[in-house]
Amino acid sequence: MVIIITGATHTGKTALAKKLVRKTGFFCVSVDHLKMGLIRSGNTTLTPYDDDELTDYLWPIVREMIKTAIENGQDLVVEGCYVPFNWRDGLGEVYLSQIEYICLCMSSDYIASHFDDILAHRSDAENRLYDADPAPASYIRDNRYFERGCRQAGNTLLMIEDNWEKSVGVWLDRISDTATERTI
């Protein structure tokens, strides 16, 4: 089974992936780590700020990693924002039946009322270096972009509207139960 966790920046993708790995024992691949390895090794001239180009560059690699995991009966969590909305393309039904997908988004009201919390927790799962704090408007814009893209593509969306732990906890329990059933 492969579980894809994507969404806008700072929605808790990595934190959720870590919780899922602890609960299920699955392996995890961070698309951000793959991105930085390819950038730092000189295998691409793209920069961490070339989001659309990075998605086009990274997704074919990640898609084939997913296929390989499924073909080998390996359980895997793939987390990162470089997953295109049309992620199903290039994956046949044999693969799709073994994939769970979730896109994390925060509502505009959640971002506005929890912005200080979002900033306070932004390095919970990985160390982040920042030049300046972004404005809430940029987070709202990014989350609406992911929300629209997921809805238009018919992808599963988890909207965080009140409490992050509670919102992801319900999904985490359900997917952990599904993962356990599939691996028994």
- Per residue, the 3-state secondary structure of 103-132, as one string, reads EEEECHHHHHHHHHHHHHCCCCCCCCCCCC
Q: Which amino acid is at 130?
A: Y
Distance, CA of 39 to CA of 124 (rounded, Å): 24
Looking at residue 125, its pLDDT comes to 53
Q: Which helix (H) or strand (E) holds 28?
A: strand 27-30
**Whether the Cβ atoms of residue 80 and residue 30 lie closer than 8 Å to each other:** yes
The yes/no answer on whether domain 2-183 falls in CATH 3.40.50.740 is: no
Distance, CA of 167 to CA of 178 (rounded, Å): 18
Rounded to the nearest 10 degrees, the angle between the axes of helix 51-71 and helix 31-40 is 120
Cβ within 8 Å of residue 35, ≥6 positions away: 48, 54, 58, 80, 82
Dig out the tokens for 93 from the structure.
Answer: 């039904």
What is the tens place of the pLDDT at every residue in 38-93? 999 999 999 998 989 999 999 999 999 999 999 999 999 999 999 999 999 999 99
Looking at residue 184, its pLDDT comes to 45
Residue 14 has pLDDT above 70, yes or no: yes
- What are the helix and strand counts (H, E) for the chain? 7, 5
Domains of the chain, by residue range, sit at: 2-183
Binning pLDDT at 50, 70 and 90, where does residue 19 land? very high
Share of the chain above pLDDT 70, in %: 90
Which pTM does this prediction carry? 0.89
